[in-house]
Structure 1
């Protein structure tokens, strides 16, 4: 039986649009640099405010990828 080993890396992403956009951009960017990206989960999220209005959305993602043999 073959075993696989995965690694998890943390990335931080900011979007002026939405949390969903930040997650999408983060996963797409991670996939450009890391091979075998297999999943991601949101570790933290927050918004930045100016004069009581949301100006940006921040997410911290844990991205997992399977290591090459």
Structure 2
């Protein structure tokens, strides 16, 4: 029987929400093993001088506990 744990991670990118999600997974994988899935909980952007500055995501990362 597998035991799974979920953590919540916030990440951003200057390119896109997809890139922000990749950044979240890449950073989390430096300290978390066995990542199985990512659920995008929320998306937002910051605005600077009337234009989109950064894309932000709030993700839930599920991983299997050894």
Out of 10, 13, 16, which is 1:15 matched to? 13
Cα distance in 1, alignment partners of residues 7 and 61 from structure 2: 5
Give the length in aligned residue pairs: 66
Question: How large is the Cα RMSD of the aligned pairs?
Answer: 0.8
| Pairwise CA distance, 1:14 | 1.1
Runs of 4+, deviation exceeding 4 Å? none
Could you tell me which runs of 5 or more consecutive residues in structure 2 were left unpaired when the two chains were aligned: none
Q: TM-score, normalised by structure 1?
A: 0.90
1:51 to partner: Cα distance:
2.6
- Structure 1: 5+ residue runs without aligned partners? none
Larger Rg: 1
Distance 1:67 1:45 in 2: 28
State the TM-score, normalized to the length of structure 2. Answer: 0.93
Give per-residue Cα distances to partners, 1:8-39, cap 9 Å, x unaligned: 00000011111111011111111111011111
